[in-house]
Structure 1
Amino acid sequence: MAATGRQRVRRNLREVNELTNGPTKLNNILSGGPAPPVQVRGITAAGIELADGLIMPSACVFLDGHVFLWDVPSSLWSGWGKERFELFEVVVPKPEILILGTGKGVSHPPASIRMYLNSIGIQLDIMDTICAR
């Protein structure tokens, strides 16, 4: 039996406990208002370190005050297809921008991934994620 888009998305994500009961609506972090509910302190050899000290050991998605581990291929861009990004079609609110860290250097995705994200209204920004410690 073929899996629906929502079923495929559920297999690619695993929710991590909500870290705070803070606001879940859009926040302008430059306005001096309340801090976002989940903040990244830095990138370490162990993973993504959150402001509260929790280490996320693998790729993750930060969305609406929640953190989800993201099941992605270990090789950059090999095995990355549209199905890795379909979750952004079903989440509410849909992000306007996806910031994607690519490791020690900036590595741009295949044009097909960028075009797919643009077609669903999401801008893609690529950055390196050099270990801070």
Structure 2
Amino acid sequence: MDIPDLELAQKILAAQPFSVLLGTRITEFADGRATLELDIRDELRQQNGFLHGGVLGYAADNALTFAAGTVAGDRLLTSGFTIDYLRPADGRTLRAHARVVRAGRTRVVCRCDLFTVDAQGAQTLCAAAQGSIAVS
């Protein structure tokens, strides 16, 4: 398998229209880890002013799959994931950091911690997810 390549991962992310719509960036892609970030904008908030849970779910799903891609290549599909919302998400940036827990021949299990980042750069854990990624 090829060595994980951040530039290639950025191209794959840019080929996802929904990721482009959200303005998602991939900032880490190597050694069983991937990190996605997006700016928290008013259009992504729910009625109480917090980041919508669907955005957190999207970020977890994509980060889990990108982390799996660092060890299993690009022929992957999410087969399932769970997410626990730990506190309302508010801040300047959402950061989804995923890592491989176990890489098998047909499945890769990953965990993702989701943080909000404030204007001073302080991170607050707001959700945690775990998923199974199918290798096709």
- Provide TM-score, normalisation by structure 2: 0.30
Give 1 or 2 for the bigger CA radius of gyration. 1
* Greater helix fraction, Structure 1 or Structure 2: 2
